[in-house]
Chain A
Amino acid sequence: MAEKTKKNPMKKKKQQLGQLANFTKGIIRENPIFVFLLGMCPALAVTATLETGVGMGILVIFVLTASNIVVSLIKNFIPDEIRIPSYIVIIATFVTIVGMLTQAYAYALYQSLGIFIPLIVVNCLIMGRATAYASKNDVKSSIIDGLGMGVGFLAALALIGITRELFATGAIAYGVYLPLPFEGSIINTSMYLFNMNVFVGPAGGFIVIGIWLAIFNARGNYLKKKKEVERQAWIEEKKKEAAERKRKKAMEKAGEAA
Protein backbone atom coordinates (compact mmCIF):
# COMPACT_ATOMS: atom_id res chain seq x y z
CA MET A 1 0.00 0.00 0.00
CA ALA A 2 2.70 2.42 1.04
CA GLU A 3 4.77 1.73 -2.06
CA LYS A 4 1.86 2.41 -4.31
CA THR A 5 1.16 5.78 -2.75
CA LYS A 6 4.70 6.89 -3.49
CA LYS A 7 4.08 6.33 -7.15
CA ASN A 8 0.79 8.06 -7.25
CA PRO A 9 0.40 11.41 -5.43
CA MET A 10 -3.32 11.43 -6.09
CA LYS A 11 -3.71 8.22 -4.15
CA LYS A 12 -1.79 9.65 -1.22
CA LYS A 13 -4.26 12.47 -0.95
CA LYS A 14 -7.05 9.98 -1.03
CA GLN A 15 -5.46 8.04 1.78
CA GLN A 16 -5.14 11.15 3.95
CA LEU A 17 -8.79 11.76 3.42
CA GLY A 18 -9.23 8.13 4.35
CA GLN A 19 -7.52 8.75 7.69
CA LEU A 20 -9.97 11.50 8.51
CA ALA A 21 -12.85 9.24 7.56
CA ASN A 22 -11.20 6.52 9.63
CA PHE A 23 -11.35 8.85 12.61
CA THR A 24 -14.86 10.15 12.13
CA LYS A 25 -16.47 6.83 11.32
CA GLY A 26 -16.40 5.82 14.97
CA ILE A 27 -18.27 8.91 16.04
CA ILE A 28 -21.46 8.62 14.06
CA ARG A 29 -21.60 5.97 11.38
CA GLU A 30 -20.05 3.21 13.48
CA ASN A 31 -20.76 4.60 16.93
CA PRO A 32 -19.90 1.78 19.35
CA ILE A 33 -22.90 2.31 21.61
CA PHE A 34 -25.72 3.55 19.44
CA VAL A 35 -24.91 1.51 16.35
CA PHE A 36 -22.99 -1.57 17.53
CA LEU A 37 -24.35 -1.74 21.08
CA LEU A 38 -20.88 -2.45 22.41
CA GLY A 39 -20.08 -1.63 26.02
CA MET A 40 -23.65 -1.23 27.17
CA CYS A 41 -22.80 -2.05 30.78
CA PRO A 42 -20.73 1.09 31.42
CA ALA A 43 -23.07 3.09 29.23
CA LEU A 44 -25.81 2.35 31.73
CA ALA A 45 -23.81 2.24 34.93
CA VAL A 46 -21.57 5.28 34.87
CA THR A 47 -23.73 7.81 33.06
CA ALA A 48 -25.68 9.11 36.01
CA THR A 49 -23.77 12.35 35.53
CA LEU A 50 -21.98 13.87 32.55
CA GLU A 51 -18.65 13.87 34.32
CA THR A 52 -18.57 10.19 35.22
CA GLY A 53 -19.54 9.35 31.66
CA VAL A 54 -16.78 11.55 30.24
CA GLY A 55 -14.30 10.13 32.75
CA MET A 56 -15.15 6.61 31.68
CA GLY A 57 -14.84 7.68 28.06
CA ILE A 58 -11.35 9.06 28.66
CA LEU A 59 -10.22 5.85 30.35
CA VAL A 60 -11.61 3.79 27.47
CA ILE A 61 -9.89 6.02 24.89
CA PHE A 62 -6.62 5.49 26.72
CA VAL A 63 -6.95 1.72 26.99
CA LEU A 64 -8.29 1.37 23.47
CA THR A 65 -5.55 3.41 21.84
CA ALA A 66 -2.79 1.84 23.90
CA SER A 67 -3.92 -1.71 23.24
CA ASN A 68 -4.42 -0.90 19.55
CA ILE A 69 -0.84 0.37 19.35
CA VAL A 70 0.64 -2.66 21.06
CA VAL A 71 -1.48 -5.12 19.13
CA SER A 72 -0.59 -3.62 15.77
CA LEU A 73 3.09 -3.44 16.78
CA ILE A 74 3.31 -7.11 17.65
CA LYS A 75 0.86 -8.44 15.11
CA ASN A 76 3.64 -10.13 13.14
CA PHE A 77 5.24 -11.83 16.12
CA ILE A 78 2.18 -13.40 17.69
CA PRO A 79 1.36 -16.90 16.44
CA ASP A 80 -2.24 -17.18 15.38
CA GLU A 81 -2.81 -19.89 17.94
CA ILE A 82 -2.41 -17.61 20.94
CA ARG A 83 -3.70 -14.41 19.44
CA ILE A 84 -6.85 -14.00 21.52
CA PRO A 85 -5.27 -14.87 24.89
CA SER A 86 -2.37 -12.52 24.21
CA TYR A 87 -4.80 -9.71 23.48
CA ILE A 88 -6.64 -10.40 26.72
CA VAL A 89 -3.36 -10.18 28.62
CA ILE A 90 -2.42 -6.92 26.91
CA ILE A 91 -5.80 -5.32 27.53
CA ALA A 92 -5.90 -6.49 31.14
CA THR A 93 -2.44 -5.04 31.71
CA PHE A 94 -3.48 -1.65 30.39
CA VAL A 95 -6.69 -1.68 32.37
CA THR A 96 -4.80 -2.45 35.57
CA ILE A 97 -2.39 0.38 34.86
CA VAL A 98 -5.17 2.82 34.02
CA GLY A 99 -7.00 1.80 37.18
CA MET A 100 -3.96 2.57 39.30
CA LEU A 101 -3.36 5.90 37.57
CA THR A 102 -6.97 6.92 38.11
CA GLN A 103 -6.75 5.93 41.74
CA ALA A 104 -3.65 8.03 42.11
CA TYR A 105 -4.54 11.15 40.17
CA ALA A 106 -8.36 11.23 39.94
CA TYR A 107 -9.51 9.66 43.16
CA ALA A 108 -13.07 10.99 43.05
CA LEU A 109 -13.52 9.54 39.57
CA TYR A 110 -12.01 6.25 40.71
CA GLN A 111 -14.50 6.04 43.52
CA SER A 112 -17.53 6.92 41.46
CA LEU A 113 -16.66 4.48 38.67
CA GLY A 114 -15.96 1.72 41.18
CA ILE A 115 -15.87 -1.76 39.72
CA PHE A 116 -16.46 -0.45 36.23
CA ILE A 117 -12.79 0.40 35.86
CA PRO A 118 -11.65 -3.24 36.05
CA LEU A 119 -14.64 -4.10 33.90
CA ILE A 120 -13.11 -2.18 30.98
CA VAL A 121 -11.25 -5.46 30.47
CA VAL A 122 -14.41 -7.15 29.27
CA ASN A 123 -15.62 -4.18 27.26
CA CYS A 124 -16.31 -5.78 23.89
CA LEU A 125 -15.31 -2.60 22.09
CA ILE A 126 -11.64 -2.93 23.00
CA MET A 127 -11.29 -6.61 22.24
CA GLY A 128 -13.32 -6.05 19.09
CA ARG A 129 -11.07 -3.29 17.73
CA ALA A 130 -7.95 -5.28 18.62
CA THR A 131 -9.01 -8.34 16.67
CA ALA A 132 -10.88 -6.65 13.85
CA TYR A 133 -8.71 -3.66 13.12
CA ALA A 134 -5.40 -3.36 14.94
CA SER A 135 -4.30 -6.88 14.16
CA LYS A 136 -4.64 -6.17 10.43
CA ASN A 137 -3.48 -2.56 10.07
CA ASP A 138 -0.38 -0.47 10.64
CA VAL A 139 0.27 1.46 13.84
CA LYS A 140 -0.76 4.86 12.56
CA SER A 141 -4.19 3.90 11.36
CA SER A 142 -4.65 1.74 14.44
CA ILE A 143 -4.09 4.78 16.63
CA ILE A 144 -6.53 6.82 14.59
CA ASP A 145 -9.05 4.03 14.70
CA GLY A 146 -8.66 3.68 18.46
CA LEU A 147 -9.01 7.42 19.02
CA GLY A 148 -12.02 7.66 16.73
CA MET A 149 -13.85 4.76 18.29
CA GLY A 150 -12.95 6.02 21.76
CA VAL A 151 -14.24 9.50 21.01
CA GLY A 152 -17.43 7.97 19.65
CA PHE A 153 -17.81 5.99 22.86
CA LEU A 154 -17.12 9.11 24.94
CA ALA A 155 -19.60 11.16 22.92
CA ALA A 156 -22.31 8.57 23.43
CA LEU A 157 -21.65 8.38 27.17
CA ALA A 158 -21.64 12.17 27.39
CA LEU A 159 -24.96 12.40 25.56
CA ILE A 160 -26.56 9.89 27.91
CA GLY A 161 -24.89 11.51 30.90
CA ILE A 162 -26.12 14.99 30.02
CA THR A 163 -29.67 13.75 29.60
CA ARG A 164 -29.72 11.86 32.85
CA GLU A 165 -27.98 14.50 34.94
CA LEU A 166 -30.17 17.29 33.61
CA PHE A 167 -33.36 15.46 34.31
CA ALA A 168 -32.19 14.17 37.65
CA THR A 169 -30.65 17.27 39.18
CA GLY A 170 -31.63 20.11 36.91
CA ALA A 171 -27.99 21.06 36.54
CA ILE A 172 -24.82 19.95 34.80
CA ALA A 173 -21.96 20.13 37.26
CA TYR A 174 -18.25 20.01 36.50
CA GLY A 175 -15.15 19.60 38.62
CA VAL A 176 -16.79 17.16 41.00
CA TYR A 177 -15.36 13.89 39.73
CA LEU A 178 -12.77 14.91 37.19
CA PRO A 179 -9.62 16.47 38.62
CA LEU A 180 -10.28 19.88 37.10
CA PRO A 181 -8.77 22.99 38.69
CA PHE A 182 -12.20 24.62 38.79
CA GLU A 183 -15.70 23.55 39.62
CA GLY A 184 -19.20 24.78 39.12
CA SER A 185 -22.10 24.02 36.87
CA ILE A 186 -22.69 24.68 33.19
CA ILE A 187 -26.43 24.73 33.34
CA ASN A 188 -28.16 25.30 36.60
CA THR A 189 -31.91 25.62 36.62
CA SER A 190 -31.56 25.79 40.41
CA MET A 191 -35.08 24.60 40.79
CA TYR A 192 -36.53 21.24 41.43
CA LEU A 193 -38.42 21.25 38.15
CA PHE A 194 -36.37 18.47 36.63
CA ASN A 195 -35.60 16.81 39.93
CA MET A 196 -36.56 13.30 38.91
CA ASN A 197 -34.58 10.88 40.99
CA VAL A 198 -35.55 7.98 38.82
CA PHE A 199 -33.01 9.14 36.23
CA VAL A 200 -30.15 8.69 38.66
CA GLY A 201 -31.19 5.12 39.27
CA PRO A 202 -31.07 2.08 37.01
CA ALA A 203 -34.55 2.52 35.56
CA GLY A 204 -33.68 5.96 34.23
CA GLY A 205 -30.50 4.63 32.63
CA PHE A 206 -32.34 1.96 30.69
CA ILE A 207 -35.09 4.29 29.58
CA VAL A 208 -32.79 7.14 28.51
CA ILE A 209 -30.64 4.83 26.38
CA GLY A 210 -33.77 3.25 24.95
CA ILE A 211 -35.11 6.66 23.95
CA TRP A 212 -31.82 7.77 22.40
CA LEU A 213 -31.56 4.51 20.45
CA ALA A 214 -35.07 5.01 19.18
CA ILE A 215 -34.22 8.56 18.11
CA PHE A 216 -31.15 7.35 16.21
CA ASN A 217 -33.19 4.56 14.66
CA ALA A 218 -35.85 7.00 13.57
CA ARG A 219 -33.18 9.16 11.96
CA GLY A 220 -31.68 6.11 10.27
CA ASN A 221 -35.05 5.02 9.01
CA TYR A 222 -35.75 8.49 7.69
CA LEU A 223 -32.43 8.66 5.85
CA LYS A 224 -32.98 5.24 4.41
CA LYS A 225 -36.42 6.19 3.21
CA LYS A 226 -35.08 9.39 1.70
CA LYS A 227 -32.34 7.47 -0.06
CA GLU A 228 -34.86 4.96 -1.28
CA VAL A 229 -37.08 7.70 -2.66
CA GLU A 230 -34.10 9.34 -4.36
CA ARG A 231 -33.08 6.03 -5.84
CA GLN A 232 -36.57 5.44 -7.09
CA ALA A 233 -36.60 8.89 -8.65
CA TRP A 234 -33.22 8.25 -10.23
CA ILE A 235 -34.41 4.94 -11.64
CA GLU A 236 -37.53 6.60 -13.01
CA GLU A 237 -35.39 9.26 -14.66
CA LYS A 238 -33.07 6.67 -16.17
CA LYS A 239 -36.06 4.77 -17.41
CA LYS A 240 -37.44 7.92 -18.95
CA GLU A 241 -34.10 8.70 -20.57
CA ALA A 242 -33.89 5.20 -21.93
CA ALA A 243 -37.38 5.47 -23.31
CA GLU A 244 -36.50 8.82 -24.84
CA ARG A 245 -33.42 7.36 -26.42
CA LYS A 246 -35.43 4.48 -27.74
CA ARG A 247 -37.96 6.85 -29.18
CA LYS A 248 -35.26 9.00 -30.78
CA LYS A 249 -33.55 5.93 -32.14
CA ALA A 250 -36.80 4.69 -33.52
CA MET A 251 -37.46 8.09 -35.04
CA GLU A 252 -33.99 8.23 -36.58
CA LYS A 253 -34.54 4.77 -37.92
CA ALA A 254 -37.85 5.87 -39.30
CA GLY A 255 -36.17 8.98 -40.80
CA GLU A 256 -33.48 6.89 -42.41
CA ALA A 257 -36.02 4.59 -43.76
CA ALA A 258 -37.91 7.52 -45.11
Chain B
Amino acid sequence: MISPTVFFVAIVSSMLINNVVLMRFLGICPFLGVSKRTESALGMSLAVMFVMVVSSILTYIIYYYILAPLDITFISTIAFILVIASLVQLVELFIKKISKKLYKGLGIYLPLIVTNCAILGVVEINIAQGYPEDYGLFNGLWVATTSAFGAALGFALIMFAFSSIRERLEAAEVPAAWQGVPVSLVVAGIMALAFLGLGGIV
Protein backbone atom coordinates (compact mmCIF):
# COMPACT_ATOMS: atom_id res chain seq x y z
CA MET B 1 0.00 0.00 0.00
CA ILE B 2 1.06 3.59 -0.49
CA SER B 3 1.79 5.56 2.63
CA PRO B 4 -0.76 8.21 3.65
CA THR B 5 1.89 10.89 3.32
CA VAL B 6 1.79 10.45 -0.45
CA PHE B 7 -1.84 11.52 -0.41
CA PHE B 8 -1.17 14.36 1.97
CA VAL B 9 1.67 15.61 -0.19
CA ALA B 10 -0.48 15.23 -3.32
CA ILE B 11 -3.25 17.35 -1.81
CA VAL B 12 -0.99 20.06 -0.41
CA SER B 13 1.10 20.32 -3.52
CA SER B 14 -1.78 20.49 -5.97
CA MET B 15 -3.85 22.76 -3.75
CA LEU B 16 -1.30 25.29 -2.56
CA ILE B 17 2.05 24.93 -4.25
CA ASN B 18 0.91 24.26 -7.78
CA ASN B 19 -2.39 26.04 -7.41
CA VAL B 20 -4.37 25.65 -10.64
CA VAL B 21 -5.29 29.28 -10.98
CA LEU B 22 -2.32 31.17 -9.62
CA MET B 23 0.55 28.87 -10.52
CA ARG B 24 -0.70 26.88 -13.49
CA PHE B 25 -2.88 29.58 -15.08
CA LEU B 26 -5.82 27.25 -15.55
CA GLY B 27 -9.42 28.32 -15.17
CA ILE B 28 -8.70 32.03 -15.57
CA CYS B 29 -12.05 32.57 -17.28
CA PRO B 30 -14.24 31.55 -14.33
CA PHE B 31 -11.70 33.15 -12.04
CA LEU B 32 -12.41 36.50 -13.66
CA GLY B 33 -15.97 35.86 -14.75
CA VAL B 34 -17.79 34.13 -11.95
CA SER B 35 -16.00 35.66 -9.00
CA LYS B 36 -18.17 38.70 -8.64
CA ARG B 37 -20.30 37.23 -5.90
CA THR B 38 -19.07 34.79 -3.25
CA GLU B 39 -22.19 32.71 -3.69
CA SER B 40 -21.68 32.11 -7.39
CA ALA B 41 -17.96 31.56 -6.85
CA LEU B 42 -18.71 28.75 -4.42
CA GLY B 43 -21.37 27.24 -6.71
CA MET B 44 -18.92 27.19 -9.58
CA SER B 45 -16.20 25.69 -7.37
CA LEU B 46 -18.50 22.92 -6.25
CA ALA B 47 -19.47 22.01 -9.80
CA VAL B 48 -15.81 22.14 -10.87
CA MET B 49 -14.77 19.98 -7.93
CA PHE B 50 -17.22 17.25 -8.82
CA VAL B 51 -16.47 17.20 -12.52
CA MET B 52 -12.72 17.47 -11.97
CA VAL B 53 -12.48 14.49 -9.62
CA VAL B 54 -14.78 12.24 -11.64
CA SER B 55 -13.22 13.13 -14.97
CA SER B 56 -9.75 12.50 -13.50
CA ILE B 57 -10.80 8.99 -12.58
CA LEU B 58 -12.43 8.35 -15.93
CA THR B 59 -9.59 9.68 -18.03
CA TYR B 60 -7.02 7.80 -15.97
CA ILE B 61 -8.88 4.57 -16.62
CA ILE B 62 -9.33 5.35 -20.30
CA TYR B 63 -5.71 6.33 -20.79
CA TYR B 64 -4.04 3.50 -18.93
CA TYR B 65 -6.53 0.70 -19.49
CA ILE B 66 -7.66 1.40 -23.05
CA LEU B 67 -5.41 3.80 -24.94
CA ALA B 68 -2.05 2.65 -23.58
CA PRO B 69 -2.58 -1.09 -24.16
CA LEU B 70 -3.84 -0.37 -27.68
CA ASP B 71 -0.83 1.89 -28.23
CA ILE B 72 -2.96 4.80 -29.40
CA THR B 73 -2.17 7.35 -26.71
CA PHE B 74 -1.86 10.00 -29.40
CA ILE B 75 -5.63 10.38 -29.50
CA SER B 76 -5.73 11.25 -25.81
CA THR B 77 -6.55 14.94 -26.34
CA ILE B 78 -9.71 14.34 -28.33
CA ALA B 79 -10.65 11.44 -26.07
CA PHE B 80 -10.27 13.50 -22.90
CA ILE B 81 -12.25 16.51 -24.06
CA LEU B 82 -15.08 14.30 -25.29
CA VAL B 83 -15.10 12.30 -22.07
CA ILE B 84 -15.29 15.48 -20.04
CA ALA B 85 -18.03 16.85 -22.28
CA SER B 86 -20.04 13.63 -22.00
CA LEU B 87 -19.56 13.61 -18.25
CA VAL B 88 -20.89 17.13 -18.00
CA GLN B 89 -23.90 16.17 -20.10
CA LEU B 90 -24.58 13.18 -17.87
CA VAL B 91 -24.23 15.20 -14.70
CA GLU B 92 -26.62 17.80 -16.04
CA LEU B 93 -29.04 15.09 -17.01
CA PHE B 94 -29.00 13.57 -13.54
CA ILE B 95 -29.31 16.89 -11.80
CA LYS B 96 -32.30 17.69 -13.96
CA LYS B 97 -33.96 14.46 -12.90
CA ILE B 98 -33.01 14.57 -9.25
CA SER B 99 -33.70 18.01 -7.92
CA LYS B 100 -34.90 21.32 -9.18
CA LYS B 101 -33.14 23.13 -6.39
CA LEU B 102 -29.79 21.62 -7.24
CA TYR B 103 -30.36 22.40 -10.88
CA LYS B 104 -31.05 26.01 -10.07
CA GLY B 105 -27.94 26.17 -7.93
CA LEU B 106 -25.38 24.34 -10.05
CA GLY B 107 -26.99 23.91 -13.44
CA ILE B 108 -25.95 27.28 -14.74
CA TYR B 109 -22.28 26.46 -14.26
CA LEU B 110 -22.31 23.07 -15.91
CA PRO B 111 -22.30 24.16 -19.59
CA LEU B 112 -19.49 26.53 -18.72
CA ILE B 113 -17.37 23.73 -17.32
CA VAL B 114 -16.76 22.04 -20.65
CA THR B 115 -14.81 25.03 -21.85
CA ASN B 116 -13.11 25.46 -18.49
CA CYS B 117 -9.47 24.73 -19.11
CA ALA B 118 -8.94 23.86 -15.44
CA ILE B 119 -10.65 20.49 -15.92
CA LEU B 120 -8.84 19.42 -19.07
CA GLY B 121 -5.63 20.95 -17.73
CA VAL B 122 -5.70 19.02 -14.46
CA VAL B 123 -6.54 15.84 -16.35
CA GLU B 124 -3.61 16.33 -18.73
CA ILE B 125 -1.26 17.15 -15.87
CA ASN B 126 -2.34 14.03 -14.02
CA ILE B 127 -1.52 11.93 -17.05
CA ALA B 128 1.75 13.77 -17.66
CA GLN B 129 2.83 13.07 -14.08
CA GLY B 130 3.03 9.37 -14.92
CA TYR B 131 1.79 8.11 -11.58
CA PRO B 132 1.81 4.41 -12.58
CA GLU B 133 5.61 4.54 -12.80
CA ASP B 134 5.85 5.62 -9.19
CA TYR B 135 2.93 3.91 -7.53
CA GLY B 136 1.78 1.12 -9.81
CA LEU B 137 -1.09 1.07 -12.25
CA PHE B 138 -3.91 0.74 -9.77
CA ASN B 139 -2.54 2.75 -6.86
CA GLY B 140 -1.66 5.54 -9.25
CA LEU B 141 -5.38 6.00 -9.81
CA TRP B 142 -5.85 6.98 -6.18
CA VAL B 143 -2.92 9.35 -6.21
CA ALA B 144 -4.25 10.95 -9.41
CA THR B 145 -7.71 11.27 -7.88
CA THR B 146 -6.31 12.78 -4.72
CA SER B 147 -4.29 15.31 -6.58
CA ALA B 148 -7.30 16.23 -8.73
CA PHE B 149 -9.28 16.72 -5.54
CA GLY B 150 -6.48 18.89 -4.18
CA ALA B 151 -6.47 20.93 -7.37
CA ALA B 152 -10.23 21.43 -7.08
CA LEU B 153 -9.81 22.50 -3.46
CA GLY B 154 -7.16 24.97 -4.58
CA PHE B 155 -9.51 26.31 -7.24
CA ALA B 156 -12.29 26.72 -4.67
CA LEU B 157 -9.92 28.42 -2.24
CA ILE B 158 -8.80 30.97 -4.82
CA MET B 159 -12.35 31.55 -6.11
CA PHE B 160 -13.56 32.20 -2.58
CA ALA B 161 -10.64 34.41 -1.62
CA PHE B 162 -10.80 36.36 -4.85
CA SER B 163 -14.56 36.90 -4.72
CA SER B 164 -14.19 38.21 -1.19
CA ILE B 165 -11.49 40.60 -2.34
CA ARG B 166 -13.61 41.70 -5.27
CA GLU B 167 -16.55 42.51 -3.05
CA ARG B 168 -14.31 44.95 -1.25
CA LEU B 169 -12.81 46.17 -4.49
CA GLU B 170 -16.27 47.29 -5.57
CA ALA B 171 -16.34 49.79 -2.77
CA ALA B 172 -12.82 51.01 -3.46
CA GLU B 173 -12.07 53.97 -5.64
CA VAL B 174 -10.24 52.68 -8.67
CA PRO B 175 -9.04 54.92 -11.52
CA ALA B 176 -11.29 54.62 -14.54
CA ALA B 177 -8.75 52.78 -16.70
CA TRP B 178 -8.05 50.20 -14.01
CA GLN B 179 -11.65 49.40 -13.21
CA GLY B 180 -12.87 45.86 -13.61
CA VAL B 181 -10.51 43.30 -15.10
CA PRO B 182 -7.17 45.15 -14.99
CA VAL B 183 -7.24 45.72 -11.27
CA SER B 184 -8.49 42.16 -10.78
CA LEU B 185 -5.48 40.85 -12.66
CA VAL B 186 -3.08 42.91 -10.62
CA VAL B 187 -4.74 41.66 -7.45
CA ALA B 188 -4.37 38.12 -8.78
CA GLY B 189 -0.70 38.86 -9.45
CA ILE B 190 -0.18 39.90 -5.86
CA MET B 191 -1.99 36.77 -4.69
CA ALA B 192 0.32 34.73 -6.90
CA LEU B 193 3.32 36.43 -5.29
CA ALA B 194 1.99 35.42 -1.90
CA PHE B 195 1.54 31.85 -3.06
CA LEU B 196 5.13 31.75 -4.28
CA GLY B 197 6.06 31.74 -0.62
CA LEU B 198 4.43 28.35 -0.16
CA GLY B 199 6.91 26.82 -2.61
CA GLY B 200 9.07 25.14 -0.01
CA ILE B 201 6.40 23.32 1.97
CA VAL B 202 6.69 19.90 0.44
Binding site for B on A (CB under 8 A): 37, 40-42, 44-45, 85, 88-89, 92-93, 95-96, 99-100, 114-115, 118-119, 121-124, 127, 198, 201-207, 209-211, 213-215, 217-218, 221
Contacts and interface: CB of A to CB of B under 8 A. Distances in A.
B40 interface: no
4 A-B pairs with least C-beta separation: A206-B189, A210-B185, A218-B177, A207-B189
A93 B186 contact: no
B130 to A, nearest CB: 13
Contacts of A127: 115
Given A206-B186, A213-B182, A214-B182, 8 more contacts: A37-B32, A40-B32, A45-B25, A85-B85, A118-B76, A122-B117, A207-B190, A211-B186
B29 A211 contact: no
B78 A92 contact: yes
B98 interface: no
Interface residues of B, number: 44
Interface string B161-202: 000000000000000111101111110111011011000000
26 contacts: A40-B29, A40-B32, A41-B26, A41-B27, A42-B25, A44-B28, A92-B78, A99-B77, A100-B74, A115-B121, A115-B128, A118-B77, A118-B81, A119-B120, A122-B81, A124-B29, A201-B196, A203-B189, A203-B193, A206-B185, A207-B186, A210-B183, A217-B179, A217-B182, A218-B176, A221-B177
B124 A206 contact: no
A110 to B, nearest CB: 13
B36 to A, nearest CB: 14
A118 B74 contact: no
Contacts of A42: 25
A202 B183 CA distance: 16
Nearest to B120: A122
Interface in B78-126: 78, 80-82, 85, 114-117, 120-121, 124-125
Which of B22, B80, B117, B196 has the most chain A CB within a 10 Å cutoff?
B117
Contacts of A99: 77
Contacts of A122: 81, 114-117, 120
Contact of B181 (A37, A124, A201): A37
A204 B189 contact: yes
Contacts of B192: 201-203, 205-206
Which of A85, A209, A215 has the most chain B CB within a 10 Å cutoff?
A209
A114 B77 CA distance: 13
A119 B121 contact: yes
B82 A89 contact: yes
A124 B117 CA distance: 10
B68 interface: no
Contacts of A88: 81-82, 85, 114
A118 B120 contact: yes
B176 A221 contact: yes
A96 B75 contact: yes
Given A119-B124, A221-B177, A92 B77 contact: yes
Contacts of B190: 203, 207
Contacts of B24: 45
A209 B25 contact: no
A99 B78 CA distance: 11
B81 A205 contact: no
B192 to A, nearest CB: 4
Contacts of B195: 202
A71 to B, nearest CB: 16
Nearest to B78: A92
Contacts of A213: 181-182, 185
B178 to A, nearest CB: 5
Interface string B15-56: 000000011111111001000000000000000000000000
